[in-house]
Amino acid sequence: MKKTLALLAALVMASSAYAQGVIQLFGFNEIKRPDGTGAGAGYTAGLFLASDLNTVLGSTDFIPGTGFMNGVDVTIPGSPVGSTPSLVVRAWETGKTFATSTIRGEHPAFVSPPLGGTAPPNPAVPPPDLGPNFQGFTMTPEPSTYALGIAGLGALAMMRRRK
C-alpha cells in the first residue's frame, strides 16, 4: 500500500512537469474607463480560460496614466505548447474581485494564436482590437502545484512516522 501511495504521489508530481503553453498578456490598444481616461493605476487586468471565468490564470496592472497593461507571461494550465485555447481578458478595480468591482469590463472570448513555450517568443494576448471591443470595466488565487506536492509529501511523511 505504501509503495502504491509513493508511486501515485510521484506520478502526480511528474504530471505537473509536462510542458504547458505560455502566452504574453499585454495590450496594443488603451483600455479606457467610462469617463474616457486610461485605466491607469488602481485597475487590474486578468486572463481567464473561456471555460472557467472564476480562475485567474495571470494578472497584471496598468502603466500609470495610461490604459496600457504591463506585459506579463502567463502559463496556461492544461494547454500544451502549440495549442490554441479560448481565452477572456477582464479588467476590474484593484483590491476587489471582478464580481464586486463597480467599474469592470471584459473582452468577448477569443481563440489565442498557438501557444509558445517557456522561452519567448510567446504570442501576444489580447488581440489588437481589445480597445474598441472592450465592454465596460475576484482576486482568485490559483492553487500552487508545488504547495499541493509538498502537502502530499507531508501526508506520506506523517504516515511513515506513525509506523
107 is written with which cell numbers? 473582452
22, 69, 93, 97 from 101: Cα distances, Å: 28, 18, 6, 6
Q: Is the domain 20-142 a CATH 2.60.40 member?
A: yes
For the stretch 69-105, pLDDT in tens is 888 888 888 888 788 888 888 888 888 888 888 888 8
Picking from 70, 85, 71, the residue whose alpha carbon sits closest to that of residue 116 is 85
Kind and range of the H or E run holding 46 = strand 43-49
Domain ranges of the chain: 20-142
Buried b (16+ CB within 10 A) or exposed e, 30-64: bbbbeeeebbbeebbbbbbbeeebeebbbbbbbbe
Average pLDDT, the chain: 74
Digit-coded pLDDT (tens) for 2-57:
566 555 555 555 444 455 778 888 777 777 777 777 777 888 888 898 888 888 88
pLDDT at 139 over 60: no
